[in-house]
Copies of this chain bind each other. A is one copy, B any other.
């Protein structure tokens, strides 16, 4: 009945994401986001319970527009498409990577994506424990790959530093790091995903 709200949750998420993209994860504070919205710090708390909820909002916003439709192709292609869309969405906002890892269970958009993945796996004949393991393995690879790119991109300073390591202490590492510098992120992700999918395609009897 009284005074209407002047902010929307998507609006808050957009502002927070702008801060994240512009100044990085360390700059994402309640004060800065409130300022970005032109409000006082404490006003934010009329819309989110605490910082955690703000972070969930950002994660959900990044994943909100994920296309969950799936082409009329074999299951392997369908899974690839869903994973690449997720990868692209997160990769478009590098700094959100640690937040996605922490909050993926709390973001509705993330749950919808998981549902879509599981639906494809089910159609492909995965059920029961095999389906659980397939899903968890794909997600593990996805999150691991995102963090590989975030904390130690092959083209980044960390890899360069490894290539400079003492050849006598780390002969193979130094050589591999040098080779790694030429692998672009998209190719790395795609090649790794193909490996996991090859494994999922193999007959379970092979194990």
Contact = CB atoms under 8 A, between A and B. Distances in A.
Interface of A: 101-102, 104-105, 111-112, 114-115, 118-119, 122, 128-129, 131-137, 139-145, 147-148, 151-152, 154, 158, 161-162, 165, 169-173, 176, 179-180, 182-183, 188, 191-192, 194-200, 202, 206-207
Contact of A199 (B144, B158, B199): B199
Given A105-B158, A111-B165, A170-B111, A135 B198 contact: no
A67 to B, nearest CB: 18
A51 B185 CA distance: 30
Interface on chain A toward B: helix, strand, loop, or mixed SS? helix
Contact of A111 (B114, B154, B171, B173): B173
A115 B170 contact: yes
